């Protein structure tokens, strides 16, 4: 019988950032030696790693810090700089219980003294909000208070992927890191009117952010995490300064990630930035569900601390949980919207479907029906999450002639699933991997599971266009390669 692995529940009630996630996973049991070896293999200079125990809001927590040398150091952790221009002060008198000089300097692994680097949000780096197409990577600027800021390397996504490919990472850790960077790149490109291929932005180019994201991916892989539950991300309000001006909170990259990846945001009354672009990208890349089981047991807990001192304590809590009864199919809530439409053209209905799917609908269907007086019509059915209902209903009313929409809230059972990228003879393919309970002919459910993979439409379509092969032929080849890989 296969032992069912626990799911990871990330509790983000005071935001999320890359170093907070890594710290929480280390506290959960990720192997520090494995992490250090992986990070040491990155073809990057100018950084060291500091892992220590700290006190945050009186709680014992793990702190993961990327320690940069003087060349790569920035000073954007200055609370007055970040928030002072917006007329707000977010600093509080709470501090990590480090040594008295812990916030001054640290010694890297090579024994040389390096400036201690603090991160943005509750742990990430504030330069991550800025994007550039062209700029001198070695210039310096001064803010209005005279602070000097180093401009870090402005690498693009292709350069970062080359760094990851040269590092000594497992295939799974590398794939996770690539997905995080891709989500981040798409969000920054949208924010700055660039493309994924041309955007050059700090969070991809900066050494510290490359290390943070790689570290989170390595720790997830080392723990063998397959299912990640992230119900909601708590964010603050106000504005935060970056190198090129004051940005509203949530910053544009975070808002774009939340919109594109359907992350659930909760805006608190706390002033300040709590969800960083890197943190949002990690959440979007690794989340497999936003629904906690109705009842569950907790196997282990890890607590990761952030660097900033704000109204809410910067903590991410990671818990390994198991649903009560060890059910393999998770319980979930889905909503159904229905409307009868008899005087809208087929072209208009096709456009409505495109808009609804783009706005977050999980599925859209049209069924031919006969209404009163035997009028032929279509029954529009939309499956969606409850929080998406207002936006989807607005589209239906605007784009069709209906004057009423019926709502039904339904419970459903869904198989555990995750999107992953696999290597096949036709190249990389994105597949949906589902975990299916096994049934024996003479017994009840045994508790063991099998995994089934379903190629994603967009991946198959891209291969068809590139190779000229038919959709059915490409699908058969992918399934054949997946079965062969499973046997090997």
pLDDT value of residue 20: 96
pTM for the model:
0.58
Rg (CA), the chain: 24
Lowest-confidence region among 175-184, 365-374, 436-445? 436-445
pLDDT band (50, 70, 90) for residue 127:
very low
DSSP 3-state of 473: helix
DSSP 3-state of 305: strand
Query: What are the pLDDT digits (tens) for 411-422?
Result: 888 787 778 888
| Mean pLDDT confidence for 103-112 | 37
| Mean pLDDT confidence for 72-80 | 52
The answer to whether residue 184 scores a pLDDT higher than 80 is yes
**What's the sign of the alpha-carbon dihedral 352, 354, 358, 360?**
positive
- How far lies 24's CA from each of 10, 316, 484, in Å? 9, 6, 37
CA distance 432 to 450: 14
pLDDT value of residue 188: 86
- The number of beta carbons lying within 10 Å of the beta carbon of residue 379 is 14
pLDDT band (50, 70, 90) for residue 21:
very high
CA distance 15 to 277: 11
Q: Does domain 330-404 have CATH number 3.20.20.60?
A: no
Residues 409 and 333: beta-carbon distance below 8 Å: yes
> What stretch(es) of the chain map to CATH 3.30.70.1380?
330-404
pLDDT value of residue 79: 55
| Pairing mode of beta strands 233-237, 47-56 | unpaired
| DSSP string across 96-136 | ----TTTTTEEE-TTS-EEEPPP-BTTTB-GGGG-EESS--
Task: Pull the structure tokens for residue 132.
Answer: 């550039």
């Amino acid at each position: 019988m296969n032992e069912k692995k626990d799911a990871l529940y990330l509790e983000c009630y005071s935001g999320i950032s890359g170093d907070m996630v890594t710290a929480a996973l280390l506290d959960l049991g990720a192997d520090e030696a494995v992490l250090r070896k992986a990070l040491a293999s990155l073809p990057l200079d100018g950084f060291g790693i500091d892992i220590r125990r700290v006190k945050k809001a009186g709680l014992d927590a793990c702190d993961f810090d990327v320690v940069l040398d003087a060349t790569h150091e920035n000073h954007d952790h200055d609370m007055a700089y970040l928030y002072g221009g917006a007329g707000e002060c977010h600093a509080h008198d709470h501090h990590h219980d480090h040594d008295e000089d812990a916030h001054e300097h640290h010694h890297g692994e090579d024994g040389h003294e390096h400036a201690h680097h603090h991160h943005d949000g509750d742990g990430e780096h504030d330069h991550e909000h800025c994007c550039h197409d062209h700029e001198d990577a070695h210039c310096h600027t001064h803010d209005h208070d005279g602070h000097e800021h180093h401009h870090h390397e402005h690498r693009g996504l292709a350069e970062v992927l080359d760094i990851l490919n040269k590092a000594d990472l497992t295939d799974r850790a590398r794939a996770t890191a690539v997905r995080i960077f891709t989500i981040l790149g798409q969000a920054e490109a949208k924010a700055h009117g660039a493309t994924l291929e041309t955007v050059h932005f700090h969070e991809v180019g900066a050494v510290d952010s490359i290390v943070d994201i790689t570290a989170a991916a390595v720790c997830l892989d080392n723990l063998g995490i397959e299912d990640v539950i992230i119900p909601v991300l708590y964010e603050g309000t106000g504005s935060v300064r970056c190198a090129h001006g004051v940005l509203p909170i949530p910053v544009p990259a975070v808002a774009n990630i939340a919109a594109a990846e359907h992350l659930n945001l909760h805006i608190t009354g706390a002033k300040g930035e709590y969800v960083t672009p890197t943190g949002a990208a990690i959440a979007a890349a690794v989340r497999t569900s936003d629904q906690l089981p109705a009842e569950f047991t907790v196997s282990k807990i890890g607590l990761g601390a952030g660097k900033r001192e704000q109204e809410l304590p910067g903590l991410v809590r990671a818990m390994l949980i198991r649903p009560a009864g060890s059910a393999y199919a998770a319980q979930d809530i889905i909503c159904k919207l229905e409307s009868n439409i008899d005087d809208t053209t087929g072209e208009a209905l096709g456009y409505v479907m495109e808009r609804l799917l783009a706005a977050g609908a999980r599925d859209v269907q049209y069924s031919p029906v006969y209404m009163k007086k035997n009028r032929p019509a279509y029954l529009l059915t939309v499956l969606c999450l409850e929080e998406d209902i207002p936006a989807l209903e607005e589209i239906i009313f605007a784009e069709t002639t209906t004057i009423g929409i019926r709502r039904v809230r339904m419970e459903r059972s869904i198989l555990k699933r995750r999107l992953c990228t696999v290597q096949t003879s036709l190249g990389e393919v994105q597949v949906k991997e589902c975990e299916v309970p096994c049934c024996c002919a003479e017994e009840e459910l045994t508790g063991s599971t099998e995994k089934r993979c379903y190629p994603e439409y967009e991946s198959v379509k891209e291969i068809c266009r590139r190779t000229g092969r038919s959709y059915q032929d490409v699908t058969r080849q992918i399934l054949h390669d997946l079965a062969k890989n499973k046997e090997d």
